[in-house]
Amino acid sequence: MTAVENTPSEEIESLRALIANDLTGWRKKHCLSLFDVSSAQFNAVLEVAKGLKALDVQRQMAVAWTYPRTLAMIFEKPSLRTRVSFEAGMAHLRGHAINLAANEIGLGSRESVADVANVLSRWVDVIAARVFSHETVEELARTGTVPVINALSDKEHPIQAFADMLTLQERAGALGNALKLAYVGDGNNVLHALLLACAKMGVNISAGCPEGYFPDPAYVAEAERIAQETGAKIEIFQDPIAAVRDADAVYADVWTSMGQETEKDERGNVFVPYQINAALMAHAKPSAIVLHCLPAHRGEEVTAEIMDIHADAIYEQAENRLHTQKALLMLIIGL
């Protein structure tokens, strides 16, 4: 053991206690959808992430696992942030991540989802999966015996929302209904996660989406239900200007998500009025930040100028994927 491990600071002790006591019930829990994550559980991820972020990687060794834990990552779609943040995060925690590209394992074609889930469960502690169909992560969770994390599906991107809320909290000082986040663009997986995340954390959220590209009403209804308890305001507009009015943060995602490439031209036309540019930003608060889950297409959903002005917040948001996913893994696996 190193000197650092022998002399744990109060900071380290309270972080270890937060993970060990698991007061919010994360241990061995799946993270498939924010539908199943309570406000307290969401907040626990943010608290552990902040604790980890405050320590350099060497000092994190005093919190990390004492023996290696393993994460299998299944990717049916490309990834930079999700893959690297999980892989680097596992390395920081004395764990190991195994990357499995869909064409290598043939999920559902070379062998059944259930067989993959069961066999992986005999080897690893946690499975993370990025899938085309949300039903695939549900099937992995139902048929395997280890916790499954949704690393993006057609329906939701829950782990993105942890990083988004941490970034907003850091930038604004605190989360709550003094804050308004405006999402502009496609009513997709990222917006679905944001609707539930904001509702749970009491942040007001407005979305500006073109007709035909509104979010799934089930997500809006759930966000509205939660908002009654947390005081958040949930608004869906067709007009992007109405959505961003007086916002503290304006959020962009691609117009064409992975798997929708055949719709690219049509979407490219429909979404033009929904570009985040200087004219649209003029309707947000002068202090507003721009967030983007990335990858970004400069000149499409956001101008290069706006990306550059807000690069600090956007790259911090990407960095926060690392801290929040490490927190999630530690809460799910334990010490």
The residue ranges that bind ligand CP (CB under 6 A) are: 79-82, 152, 160, 293-295
Q: Choose the catalytic residue: 60, 160, 169, 275.
A: 160
Interface with ligand NVA (CB under 6 A), residue total: 9
CB of 297 to ligand NVA, least distance (A): 11
* Residue 154 is among the residues annotated as catalytic for this protein: no
Would you count residue 190 as binding ligand NVA (CB under 6 A)?
A: yes
Q: Choose the catalytic residue: 253, 292, 317, 323.
A: 253
- C-alpha distances (whole Å) from 255 to each of 79, 171, 182 are 17, 26, 16
Would you count residue 120 as binding ligand NVA (CB under 6 A)?
A: no
156 binds, among ligand CP, ligand NVA, none (CB under 5 to 8 A by kind): none
Would you count residue 293 as binding ligand NVA (CB under 6 A)?
A: yes
CB nearer to ligand CP: pick between 254 and 288: 254
* Residue 160 is among the residues annotated as catalytic for this protein: yes
Contact 100, 113 (CB under 8 A): no
Q: Which residues contact 81 (CB under 8 A, 6 or more apart)?
A: 294, 318, 321
* Residue 253 is among the residues annotated as catalytic for this protein: yes
CB nearer to ligand NVA: pick between 321 and 323: 321
CB nearer to ligand NVA: pick between 250 and 254: 254
- C-alpha distances (whole Å) from 329 to each of 77, 88, 125, 190, 242 are 22, 12, 10, 21, 38
Which residue stretch of 4-12, 122-130, 215-223, 249-257 sits at the interface with ligand NVA (rule: CB under 6 A)? 249-257
* Residue 122 is among the residues annotated as catalytic for this protein: no
80 binds, among ligand CP, ligand NVA, none (CB under 5 to 8 A by kind): ligand CP
CB of 48 to ligand CP, least distance (A): 20
Would you count residue 236 as binding ligand NVA (CB under 6 A)?
A: no
Please give the residue ranges that form the binding site for ligand NVA (CB under 6 A): 152, 188-190, 253-254, 257-258, 293
List residues with catalytic annotation.
Answer: 130, 157, 160, 253, 293, 321
